[in-house]
A and B are shown apart, each in its own frame.
Chain A
Amino acid sequence: MATEPAPLEKTAAAAVDPLHTGVEPLVRFDKVVKRYGDHVVLDELDFSVRRGEHVTLIGPSGSGKTTILRLLMTLEKVSDGVIWVDGSPLSHVRGPDGSLKPAGEKELRRSRKKIGMVFQQFNLFPNMKVLQNITEAPVNVLGMDKDEAESRARELLDLVGLSGKVDAHPSQLSGGQQQRVAIARALAMRPEILLLDEVTSALDPELVAGVLDLLSDIARTTDITMLCVTHEMNFARDVSETVLMFDAGRVVESGSPEKIFTDPEHERTREFLNAVL
């Protein structure tokens, strides 16, 4: 599904890669600011994610972690700065003179196709059966053949361990099952980037492990780039290569899970980990 970016875009992207790292990150936040009125949620945030990387965002509530995912999903607009995805500006289009202008709904829809999201509250469509929840977007957005979409949906339901629930309605499923369907629904769009927004926070404790195991499997067996906001530190340790610690709209510290969890440099990280572990 991934279309190769045009060479021209590559060059242009390289021009805005001041570090000349050579490897273009898949996601790059460039001085991203998000304000709600006077309240600054993200304060000139810079960070990048490599293709295939699994990144966990941790930090106290209100530190802007979820906002990052919502900006990437284009559910919110940046107040300032640019988010780059695969060398193209996510929420902007380049004008004929090379300047960046805010993107319209059509451009946004195009950029969204690469990105999938799983929500804390599942957000399945209650008026559709499980199967249709999964096939709806592949058929109507990607233009996939209905039979093909259905057989793929069945495979995905098999993967998430719910092959028996094809004809169930979401309301007949437990929270954990609903979240598995939501994961299958996101995967059905073959996203390059999967955003996981506190996907186990709304689940009963005994259902958490199953969903986390599933996500670990997906992280291990696919090359999907993942950004997770989570309070499950074990998950962060097992699944991600990189942990970003946020506080007050900035990255306080980043590094491998071993580094962050065993030898954090920043006082704020230590305080936070002491409180949650």
Chain B
Amino acid sequence: MNRTFDWDAAGDALPLLLEGFRVTLLATVLGTLVAAVLGLAVAVAGRAPSRFVTVPVKAVTEFVRATPLLVQLVGAAALFTSVEPLTIGIVVLGIHYAAYTSEVYRAGIDGVPKGQWEACRALSMSPRRTWQAVILPQAVRNVLPALGNYAISMFKETPFLAVITVHEMVFEARAYGADHFAYTEAFTLAGLVFLVASYPTSLLMRKLEKRLGH
């Protein structure tokens, strides 16, 4: 078969794809929020003095990191059949990425000089206040660029959500392709939308990195 690129079909698919893109963005933003908050909690819990905290936390993060995102998505969708697919997608993306962002936070926390902890102790500050006022503000500042990169990477992995029937952009592209037999147009366009969205974002991240002096 020798077909040329059908511009009309591409124009026709665009509104549907942009509709899907809204879901893609929503999943990315909320998933990133979950990953950012949960990852931080995991990193702080990993430094707890009790093994009853650190061992289970480590076990769960190892499990999440050792299994593919796709398997986790399908598994969660099979377990929680009454929950919206989009909700499952956001939570699973968030948990999956939390396993990685927790490592980023850990490195950021380790990067705060020992003298900062000692200064807090010398001022009799409580552990809670030490974290809140001194350690975390410095740690988070150090890891902001790395967290941004994970957000971009999550953005590009949202097409996996199509497998659990979330109507994100690639799901819509496939649907359009099947209906109009215009897979090339639909998927090319979806790819372009990803490129147009993620490239400026990664440029922005690089700028942020420079501003924070990395």
Contact = CB atoms under 8 A, between A and B. Distances in A.
Given A126-B138, A127-B134, A136-B133, A121 B121 contact: no
Interface string B131-158: 0011001100100000000000000000
Contacts of B129: 140-141
A189 B123 CA distance: 7
Given A141-B124, A189-B123, A123 B118 contact: yes
A197 B7 CA distance: 74
Point out which of A117, A127, A185 has the most chain B C-beta atoms below 10 A from its C-beta. Answer: A127
A141 B130 CA distance: 11
Interface residues of B, number: 18
B123 A75 contact: no
Nearest to B140: A127
B116 interface: yes
Nearest to B132: A140
Contacts of A59: none
Interface stretch (A32-40, A80-88, A105-113): A105-113
Interface residues of A, number: 25
B125 A141 contact: yes
A47 interface: no
B127 interface: yes
A119 interface: yes
A184 interface: no
A246 B41 CA distance: 45
A137 B122 CA distance: 10
A189 B121 CA distance: 12
Contact of B121 (A74, A125, A128, A186): A74
B126 A109 contact: yes
B124 A112 contact: yes
Given A105-B127, A136-B133, A140-B133, A125 B122 contact: no
A41 interface: no
A262 B53 CA distance: 59
A125 B134 contact: yes
Given A136-B133, A140-B133, A125 B124 contact: no
Interface of B: 113, 115-116, 118-119, 121-127, 129, 133-134, 137-138, 141
